[in-house]
Chains A and B, each alone.
Chain A
Amino acid sequence: MNKTIKLCDLMTGEVAKVVEILPENRIRGRLFDLGLTEGGNVKCLFNSPTGGMRAYLIRGACVALRDEDAATVLVSGGSKDGAD
């Protein structure tokens, strides 16, 4: 179950490990600052009511990203996990 998927394709409640952030991502530096680095854990928490944005648990903090920005973050090992 180690295929690489886009961060925005993570289902609510799933945890995954960051594989890489593609260079075309416009906020690559900011995401590194927030702790979205290679090998780090990230969990999808909830969606926006109108879609287009999701909230993720990154290093203990809840941060929301637009789907098009999360699409260039590759993660692996999405699995359902209750706690962090």
Chain B
Amino acid sequence: MGLTKSSTGVKVSGRSQKKRSGENDFKLAIAGNPNVGKSTVFNALTGMNQHTGNWPGKTVGTAEGRCRIGDKRGILIDVPGTYSLSAHSPEEEVARDVLLSQDIQGVIVVCDATCLERNLILALQIIALGKPVVVCVNLLDEALRKGLEVDLTQLSRELGVVAVGAVARKRGGLDDLKSAISSLLESVGETDKKPCGARDLSAEDASRRAEETGRLVCRSNRRDPMAGDRLLDRLFTGKKTAYPIMIALLLFVFWLTISGANYPSRLLSGALFWFGDKVGEWLLGLGCPIFLHGLLIDGAYRTLAWIVSVMLPPMAIFFPLFTLLEDSGYLPRVAFNLDKPFKRCQSCGKQALTMCMGFGCNAAGVVGCRIIDSPREQMIAILTNSLVPCNGRFPLLIAILSIFFVSGAGLGASFTSAVLLTGLILLSVLATLGVSKLLSVTVLRGMPSAFTLELPPYRPPQIGKVIVRSVFDRTVFVLGRAVISAIPAGIILYLMANLRIVDSTILSLCAEFLDPFARILGLDGVILIAFILGLPANEIVIPIMIMAYTSTSALTELSSFAELGQLFVANGWTVTTAICVMLFSLFHWPCFTTLMTIKKESGGIKWSILAAVIPTALGMTLCAIVNFIGTVLLR
């Protein structure tokens, strides 16, 4: 479920790059079941020399990389994980096409040593195709931990191809693999004719053969090798423990993200603003006109600096945590636990995972919806993703909670905030379920799909690698998004806050214009215009409010919640206003990046429009109701 610059940025290519023919000595494919460490093997063989391309005609990406085996250089294609060659999904079709293609001279099949029998089904089908194959039995360390042993020599004999063992994530067995590939390439060079005896082995026949082979080749010195996993499953999916653990974990992740990001955010904004001031002075020294200086520094740069310093630290914490949970094998259990409520809303448990991804960044959540097989359910998940607050909205929610609903400071107060925040989150989850149900009886009608959910063995996540990879990937993505949306936003904001018509700035004129309508929703004109101008990034909503209330000409920050609270109260905020602002923050149009991502994922602007309308309608309705109750009934 990766959110990276390459998968969502403007640079995603429609066709494979670097098609320089004649430069490559070989072209091989790496195939295997999902979750067997195929990508780890691929990364180990290709290093950083890889990119994601598209197999012609399909929209599923395949990673390609250059690698060097002995003195030969060639290309390795990382085929999407698949269970067998009978294609039931776009990914499996792509896998099948790649493997059958004339371009591919051989296949490396990666298998999971801890459940070899199932993995052999695909391996046997690929071997039956007639192309040269090397079988790489990965995760031998995991198997050993469970008391399982694989007799590689016997496996080789049974399958009729070379079988090597590997512990890819520790780079073990790679030399064996490389020399096996070397011999494979040599044999390809010798017999350069169409493979004879190529046939389609059905899944049933392959299963039977896999069972026989597995029995001969695998040995277990424990009564139940999976006992450890079963114990963890009892904990994570047990009637009494499943939900409390999920909620506790959610709380923990939020708390860590929020408290961990605080200090780095301040540091970053301090540094960036200082740098901006210096550049500003330098520009003025060069004779830059004041207006241009204002536009570039106070407008564009300051907005950019603000967004980056507020956006980066929480994401740098949230996404690694999320990826750790994913790598460890826990997340599919969440989908397992939550399948029933989602099924009631005509969707599936995997939507719970995309929802969780949305807590980090809604755009990431939308991209993550690719894990949902049914297109209908995928669209439901995409459209409802913005109903959960992303990291960018947390600062606003926390600020308002702290100012209006929590007194004092210290551990007790931050715990209360966390609890209230979790309450808001649960409200979002309920909204997600409700809107999913609504969509599935109106625009996206259909029956719940049939699907299988693989619950992989628990594995200790590779903490170091995850953190480095996540932080690097996310950082690049975040900075890219910040630059694209912040700079124009900053310029517009500056113009609105400084250009005057008669006596008032455009910003205050807009706020006045929107005020009557906003009052119905329990907000005021400033709040509404701040949300509208916050389209590029939710992080700037509060700064815009401050800017408008204090009539300053650039985004400013107030140093404490107390000051912010005073500003709000001085401008007429009541508790009802606070509640309405929080509700509107939860339920309003998605940010610009999310809308663009939805357009790209769904292939049309129609769904983006719907994705903007649905939360807004919900938010406005709820706000109007709460405002009515708050002002009229509770007088």
Contact = CB atoms under 8 A, between A and B. Distances in A.
Interface in A28-84: 29-35, 37-40, 45-53, 55, 57-66, 68-69, 82-84
A39 B204 CA distance: 10
A63 B84 contact: no
A60 B118 CA distance: 6
A45 B229 CA distance: 11
A22 interface: no
A45 B233 contact: yes
B266 interface: no
A61 to B, nearest CB: 4
Interface residues of A, number: 39
Contacts of B229: 62
A27 B452 contact: yes
Interface string A1-45: 000000000000000000000000111011111110111100001
B343 A52 contact: yes
B340 A52 contact: yes
A84 B224 CA distance: 7
Contacts of B618: none
B203 A64 contact: no
Interface stretch (B55-63, B109-117, B413-421): B109-117
Given A29-B88, A37-B203, A48 B118 contact: no
A84 B227 CA distance: 11
Q: Would you call the interface of chain B mostly helix, strand, loop, or mixed?
A: helix
Interface stretch (B205-213, B478-486, B579-587, B599-607): B205-213
Given A39-B208, A49-B242, A62-B229, A30 B336 contact: no
Interface stretch (B164-172, B271-279, B453-461, B520-528): B453-461
Interface in B332-353: 336-337, 339-341, 343, 349
A65 B239 CA distance: 18
A46 B233 contact: yes
Interface in B23-55: none
A17 to B, nearest CB: 11
Given A60-B118, A62-B229, A51 B340 contact: yes
Nearest to B114: A60
A41 to B, nearest CB: 8
18 contacts: A29-B88, A30-B83, A30-B452, A33-B203, A35-B207, A35-B210, A39-B208, A48-B237, A49-B239, A49-B243, A52-B339, A55-B336, A57-B226, A59-B118, A59-B214, A60-B117, A60-B214, A63-B453
